[in-house]
Every structure is written in C-alpha cells, then in structure tokens.
Amino acid sequence: MSLAKTLAPLVDFVFPPRCPLCGEGIAAQGGLCLGCWDELVIPGKPACRACARPFSAAPRGSEVCPQCRATPPLHDGIAAATLYNDISRKLVLAFKHGNRIALAPMMARLIAARLEGVGNDWLIVPVPLHRWRLWQRGFNQAAVLASELTKLTGARLSVDALVRRKQTPMLGGLGARERERVLAGAIAVHPQRGAQFQGAKVLLVDDVLTSGATSHTCVSVLKAAGATQVVVGCFARVLDEALEHREEKWEPDFRN
C-alpha cells in the first residue's frame, strides 16, 4: 500500500473532503459533489468522425460535420472530456489561475475516459507556454495534465518537445487569418527533440480547446517533424452550438 493511501484517513480527518467548487461535503478527496458533477456536459454521440463535434442529429449521408467537410482537419481526432460551460469554466479557472493543481488527476481521468487506443507506444506532448507566462504562473497547466495522463495511459511524456518562441496575445475575438498571422513562427519543435517524432503517434494536451488555432499550429509542426498521428486531448472544448442542442433536447425533462 502506498504512503498516500496509508495516510488518506488522517488527511480526511484533518481536511474533510469537500467539493472544490461549492464546498459541499463529498465522500473522497479529488472529486466533485453530485450537484456540480451533474452540471458537467460530457460530449456524446452522434458525433463527427473527424473532430468528434456532437451532432443534434447525424447529417444525412455523412458522418463528418460541415466544418470538417469544408476544411479537413490536420489532426487525427479530438478527445474532449467536457464541453465548456459554467461549471467546467470554474474548474479550469480554479486549476489554472487559482493554483488548484490537485484538480489535475480528476481532470486527467475525465480526458483519459475519452481516449481510444492511447498506450505505451504513444508520446504525450503538452501545448507549450512562453517562458514569461510560465514564470508568471509558475506552472504550465497543460504539462500538469499531460503528466497525469502518462500515469493513466502508460504513454511517454515529452514535456519540452514543443517550445513557444514568442509571446502571443489572447486570440479571442481575432479572425482566422489574424490568428494565423499571430501564431506564425510562434511554436516549434525543440531542436533536441525532433528525432523522437519520426513515425510517432502523439497525444497533444491542453486544458481548453477554443478556436483550435493554437492546437492546429502545434499539430502542424509535429507532423512536419515526422509524427504520423496527432490526437488532441483537452479537458473542456468550446462548442456553444453543441450546448444549445443539448439544452433543447433535455429541457422538457427538467420541466416534468
């Protein structure tokens, strides 16, 4: 038995387990209360075969969403633990800006539940932070999640495989061309890590997937370095239209 398990009863006695979001008492450390858990939105099916975007109903004659038909993605799939809503936003903010690193194991378990086939023949690579932002925050949230995912999958962590060569502004509100311009040359493979990507299968990890511009840049440089497969894994994915479909589908049940 590990030391952590041995000391768990003492830790629970001194620090009774509570939900990190609302403070409600819970059965064990590292979880959520039932109320907060129920508010998480887990992506479901039917979904796009290329990007896992949930459909309200499968498009006739196709398993691929209109976005992927118009612009086929460079990645080889997206594994999102949750859709970005108020409760997942609170978890991300507590983890990333509230220094609640203890949330990482739970968040990583939710990501791992969405992965298919990722094992010890894969590399896990976090989306990089610029050194100044890393210095300000004290840690790279994507790297913390990536480290936890290596324990769950048996894959090998390459924590510094990607480097952010220039600091970029927030991408929210920018158009696709402007995001592309801002990210041009911003992310590269570490010059001493390139050889490991020849023929490699890679899980690229981030906390939140918003427009996909940053992950697209990362996937591009990984494949240019020789990776044959790159799957994007994230805790929360911003898909407002999928949340709207879910609310429309389930609203009658809440009224009954």
Quick one: pLDDT at residue 15? 47
Q: Per residue of the chain (256 residues), what is the pLDDT tens digit?
A: 454 454 444 444 344 678 888 877 765 666 788 888 899 999 988 899 999 998 865 555 568 988 899 999 999 999 999 999 999 999 999 998 888 898 999 999 999 999 999 999 999 999 998 888 878 888 999 999 999 999 999 999 999 999 988 766 565 555 566 666 666 667 889 988 878 999 999 999 999 998 888 899 999 999 999 999 999 999 999 987 666 655 443 333 222 2
Candidates 195, 183, 191; CA nearest to 162 is 191
CA distance 162 to 234: 17
Task: State the Cα torsion 125-130-136-139 to the nearest 10°.
Answer: 10
CA angle 181, 186, 191 (to 5 degrees): 145
Query: Which residues sit opposite 205 in a β-bridge?
Result: 126, 233
What is the predicted pLDDT for the residue at 175?
55
Predicted local distance difference test score (pLDDT) of residue 254: 26
C-alpha–C-alpha distance, residues 224 and 243, integer Å: 34
In angstroms, the CA 66 to CA 220 distance is 22
pLDDT the model gives residue 126 = 97
User: Which pair of structure tokens corresponds to residue 177?
Assistant: 């061309």
3-state secondary structure of 53: coil
Q: For CATH 3.40.50.2020, list the domain ranges present in the chain.
A: 42-255
Q: Does domain 42-255 have CATH number 3.40.50.2020?
A: yes
The pLDDT assigned to 92 comes to 93
| pLDDT score of 12 | 45
